[in-house]
Amino acid sequence: MPKRAPATAAKKTNSKPDPRPARGPKATNATSAKIKALEAFHDAPSGAVLTSDQGVAIPHTDDSLKAGLRGPTLLDDFHLREKITHFDHERIPERVVHARGSAAHGVFQVYDSLEQYTSAGFLCDPRRETPVFVRFSTVVGSRGSADTARDVRGFATKFYTQEGNFDLVGNNMPVFFIQDGIKFPDLVHAVKPEPAHEMPQAASAHDSFWDFVSLVPETAHMVMWLMSDRAIPRSLRMMEGFGVHTFRLINAKGKSSFVKFHWKPLLGAHSLVWDEALTLMGKDPDFHRRDLWNAIESGAFPEWELGLQIIPAGDELKYDFDLLDATKLVPEELVPVQRVGKLTLNRNPQNFFAETEQVAFHVGNLVPGIGITNDPLFQARLFSYVDTQLTRLGGPNFAEIPINRPIAAVANHHQDGLQRTTINTGTANYHPNSLGGGCPFLADAKSGYAHFPEPVDGVKTRERSERFLDHFSQATLFLHSLSAVERQHLTDACRFELSKVTRKEVRARVLSLFREIDPKLAEDVSIAIGVAVPKSFPVPPSGTRASTHRGDNGGISVAPSLSLEHQPKTSIKTRKVAVLAADGFEDEHVIALQAALVAAGATAELVSPVLGMITGARGKKLEVDKTFKNAASVFYDAVFVPGGAENLDALRGNIDARLFVAEAFRHCKTLGAAGEGVALLAAADLADVKLATGSKELVDEQGVVTAGAGVKTHALVRLLIAALATHRHWERASG
């Protein structure tokens, strides 16, 4: 198996081209090719004359054609009818799920050839850069909902390969609620707003969802993920992605391996805390969307590495969980994730509707060398994705929409229908034919897509394998793998959600489900929701029977890979620090911190009572970025208060400034202050954390770094950056 090339290896040795593309739309040949393919469809009418759809010049578009100045509008105003008709139909039906999304263009490049496992060209040629389009989304909410709702996040990647489009349509969680796609309508109906009153929006905290969960034990594992911090990521750039299903890799000799796809963010996976998520819903409901857009615009391109868990075909039945069960994962401690290539998002869409909204993903968009398995959820998605695009995008020709067009040549016998943009000029639209010279010809066996010849034998039945019936062992594994803080967050999330459930019998059934996962979890949740834990697990409805045994997860009782606490904590790249300052701030403190942050790939923003220029104690003039009225600590990863007597006087009397500091402390973020600025932290009442009191004192306690006026600034900054790299300081957390 090829090993991951270090991100800096190419720069040091020049032995391998750096997979990370340069910034901009002309960064690579592959990117340029995709842009060129779309150029014919671009419309930026600078200096152009307004015309009708037929190219007729329009001299006036402010008044409709009327019979007299105050007369009725005339039917023969073709421009009015055309203009209004287009407006009336600007909106297409939103996606049933994953309606709210944001997306970006980029490139993918494999580090070393994977030809021993697959014949997929984009995974076998390290010189090849494959254009991609990635769409992130929330599942439950409508297009107008908020980014930071507790929800699963979609992570869908369209690879425009030279052999055709490959869509890896996954989530930020490696498992799913159900095992068979026939239950998908039931799941979505249950989690969506209740039909009587269309509430709640973008939330699972209501009776119908938890009623479904309590009656379908296979949801247990996914519910643990949904109640965990994974459901409220810090940003789209800081969350993992998973293909969810088990796929096949097939090499040129026809040998098959099973594979699980992973996306590993180079910034590490990090989360919000629930209180931050709630605040952001009001302060900036576009928080994730804006963060992704701004990062790309600033050149801080988001990066992930593609990870593979490869399982030999002979090991299909090796584990006590089934590889075809989408409610199960393969612990990384059993099968390590091998990082094989890099995805870099380097260009924002030019038109949200044309690209992000009209992109159509399909799990059946496969290329030679990648195949599917008999996972019953996977199989149902093969039908569902095409079917939903027919309704959403108006007909079967959605692949001709520019964002969906492959860079590979397309030749087929499709004809007519809505949105047909190809002008067929051939003499034969069928196969076989002689009138058209037999074109288009069939591909040869080596270059065309071939389904893996898996033996199939069995009786038609509506049953599940016994191997699918263990619903609780992996839910328990996940829960026991979390840190103490993560587990407390999960418990609090369950308490919040179930407190919104009005029917006590539903709350009781959920507690019985939790008891099967972990008795202490059930008791901890029970305390807060007014219902006792039932003594026995209720018999679920027909077709959803629970397991008669529990697996041992390959002998693993704790999997550190499942906890966010084990994510990388060495970099502060793209982190944002709020510097609270007013006139009279200590110039050196701010200038030194700004320089150090920029050097480490982070940024600082000046937050002050009002916008405009502020002047330092030594005459340095700086422009304010935000005020306390349009900013909040939830937008930042750390807060710093520079010294300066006048600066302190302006901030200490400002209640918003004190709340800014107190909120950041409560969310376990890094805080820093120097000189007189330490007094603002003291005024915010930071519990029992020790602060610097002497002129020469430098204190770093629980992520709060403070320095007296006589401490060298570089020493303070060094400690502050080290504290920021840990992201959160859970030792002072109450949850």
CB 231 within 8 A of CB 269: no
Return all residues near 78 (Cβ < 8 A) that are at least 6 apart.
52
Q: Is 451 a catalytic residue?
A: no
Q: Is 14 a catalytic residue?
A: no
User: At 428, is the secondary structure helix, strand, or coil?
Assistant: coil
First to last CA, the chain: 41
Q: Which two tokens stand for residue 113?
A: 């050839």
Return all residues near 715 (Cβ < 8 A) that are at least 6 apart.
698, 707
Residue of 79, 165, 171, 647 with catalytic role: 171
Could you tell me which residues are beta bridge partners of residue 577?
604, 638
CB 102 within 8 A of CB 236: yes
CA distance 476 to 517: 5
N residues, the chain: 735
Q: Which two tokens stand for residue 684?
A: 């915010």
User: At 682, is the secondary structure helix, strand, or coil?
Assistant: helix
CA distance 536 to 522: 12
User: At 523, is the secondary structure helix, strand, or coil?
Assistant: helix
**Phi-psi group of 343: left, alpha or beta (phi > 0 → left; psi -120 to 50 → alpha; rest → beta):** beta
CB atoms within 10 A of CB 300: 17
CA distance 551 to 46: 65
> CA angle at residue 271 from 265 to 277, to 5 degrees?
135
Alpha carbon separation from 433 to 321, 422, 424, 446, 633 (Å, rounded): 50, 20, 16, 23, 68
CB 550 within 8 A of CB 472: yes
Q: Which two tokens stand for residue 448?
A: 């065309």
CB atoms within 10 A of CB 488: 16
Which residues are marked as active site?
Answer: 98, 171
